[in-house]
Amino acid sequence: MRIDLHTHSDVSDGTDTPTALVHKAVQVGLDVISLTDHDTFAGIAEAQEAGRRTGLKVVSGLEMSTKFEGKSVHLLGYGCDVRNRDLTDELARIRAGRVERLPRMIDNLRAAGIEITIDEVYDHAGAAAAVGRPHVADVLVQKGVVANRDEAFRTWLGEGMPGYAERYACPLERAIDLVHAAKGVAVIAHPWSRESRAVLTAPVLERLVKDYQLDGIEVDHPDHDEATRELLFEMGARLGLVRTGSSDYHGHGKENNDLACNTTRPSAYNELVGRIRRRGGWI
Ligand code: AMP
Ligand code: ZN
Ligand code: FE
Ligand code: FE
């Protein structure tokens, strides 16, 4: 059984529709995916419908923008009831923060000598429920300022770069509580990628397990090198965490994230499913 639990569609900053993503997953031989768009459930119904037609299991998923000690941390929610009001209200607040940030990013870019407009960003965002820096990056690519999204982040849009602007994100502990209140299971995405490694130390993860019943961590992820994966795998075992693996596929929005380039072990998936069932979530 092949399982990829972290993927994006064009409902956020991926480039495939939810339906196209499901078809691609079938093509590459996956049996299970989770669609985990940033701060929205808008693609879940479509992906699950396509999954029913093609025999692919699509787990309800989400990647929530959170903050911990001033650093950006991404929290995956699995099996959530997508109608839960407390959670969807918070997601709406985060998405409003994305919209509110845009003009400030554009002002910052203008001050650095680069002219783009909000309309150009929305042309690239299309019908996306969650507009973000990758869509701004697409405008910079189209204008020939940079060659690809990655260069856009490295030179203009990443933290500390001229086009960067802060935005609202949900405190991590509250995000875990909200996922649980929606009957879902909470897994920290790429915990030791560049931004969050310094703050998500072993004692911090231990406290999140004890005080907030954090369920899991992503171990096999393109942002983690081999040594990092080994350390996280051992620490996760010690803390009783579900240890997942996934691609963080974004279509052609991210070059090193081919669908199924990392997968979740069937035993870890079964643990995750058990936790979702115990919470009464969608599985
Ligand atoms: P935002 O959530 O709008 O602030 O944008 C951050 C998102 O952009 C991340 O969640 C990634 O999905 C994506 N991203 C970050 N760095 C890169 C990169 N170097 N190349 C392409 N996409 C990136
Ligand atoms: Zn993304
Ligand atoms: Fe992420
Ligand atoms: Fe992601």
Residue nearest to atom 5 of ligand 1 (CA): 133
Query: What percent of the chain lies above the pLDDT cut of 90?
Result: 99
| Å from CA of 221 to ligand 3 middle | 10
Using CA positions, which residue lies closest to atom 20 of ligand 1?
150
Tell whether 33 and 116 lie within a shared domain. Answer: no
161: tokens are 């770069």
Tell me the CA–centroid distance for residue 73 and ligand 3, in Å.
Answer: 8
Residue 90's pLDDT is: 98
Angle at which helices 118-125 and 85-111 cross, to 10°: 130
Does residue 57 sit in the same domain as residue 103?
Answer: no
Give the pLDDT of residue 195: 86
| CATH number of the domain that residue 224 is part of | 3.20.20.140
Q: Which domain holds residue 81?
A: 3-91+168-279
pLDDT at 115: 98
CA of 152 to the centre of ligand 1 (A): 10
Please name the helix (run of DSSP H) or strand (run of DSSP E) that holds residue 23, with its range, or none. Answer: helix 18-27
Do 104 and 146 lie in a common domain? yes
Question: Quick one: which of 63, 59, 62, 9 has its CA closest to 31?
Answer: 59
Q: Which residues lie below 8 Å from residue 267, measured CB to CB, with a gap of 6+?
A: none
Count of domains for the chain: 2
**134/54 same-domain check:** no
Do 196 and 87 lie in one domain? The reply is yes
Tell which one of 10, 11, 13 to mutate to probe ligand 1, the residue whose CB is within 8 A of the most ligand atoms: 13
pLDDT digits (tens, 9 = 90+) for 22-67: 999 999 999 999 999 999 999 999 999 999 999 999 999 999 999 9
Q: Are residues 84 and 192 in the same domain?
A: yes
Q: Are residues 200 and 252 in the same domain?
A: yes
CA–CA separation, 263 and 89 (whole Å)? 31
Name the 3-class secondary structure at 13. Answer: coil
Residue 100 CA, chain-centre distance (Å), reads 20
Same structural domain, 210 and 148: no
- Closest ligand 1 atom, CA of 254? 21
259-281 tens-digit pLDDT? 999 999 999 999 999 999 999 99
Specify the pTM: 0.98
Residue 194 has pLDDT above 90, yes or no: no
Beta-bridged to residue 245, according to DSSP, are: 220
Question: Residue 84 has what pLDDT?
Answer: 98
Residue 178 within any structural domain of the chain:
yes
Do 27 and 150 lie in a common domain?
no
Same domain, 77 and 182: yes
Query: How many Å lie between the centroid of ligand 1 and the Cα of residue 134?
Result: 6
* Averaged pLDDT of the chain: 98
Q: Tell me the residues surrounding ligand 2 (ion) with CB < 5 Å.
A: 13
At 126-181, the pLDDT tens digits run 989 999 999 999 999 999 999 999 999 999 999 999 999 999 999 999 999 999 99
Q: Name the closest ligand to CA 121.
A: 1
**What percent of the chain lies above the pLDDT cut of 70?**
100
Residue with CA at minimum distance from ligand 1 atom 13: 134
Question: Which ligand sits closest to the CA of 132?
Answer: 1
Instruction: State how far the Cα of 202 lies from the Cα of 85, in Å rounded to an integer.
Output: 33
Residue 162 lies in a domain: no
Q: How far apart are CA 204 and CA 90, in angstroms?
A: 24
Q: Is residue 78 part of a domain?
A: yes
Q: Which two tokens stand for residue 250?
A: 């974004």
pLDDT mean over 103-115: 98
In a domain? residue 230: yes
pLDDT of residue 68: 98
Mapped onto helix, strand or coil, the DSSP state of residue 178 is: helix
184 and 271 in one domain?
yes
Q: Which residues line ligand 1 (CB under 6 A)?
A: 13, 38, 65, 132-134, 149-150, 153, 253-254
Specify the pLDDT at position 158.
97
- How far, in Å, from the CA of 76 to the mean position of ligand 4? 9
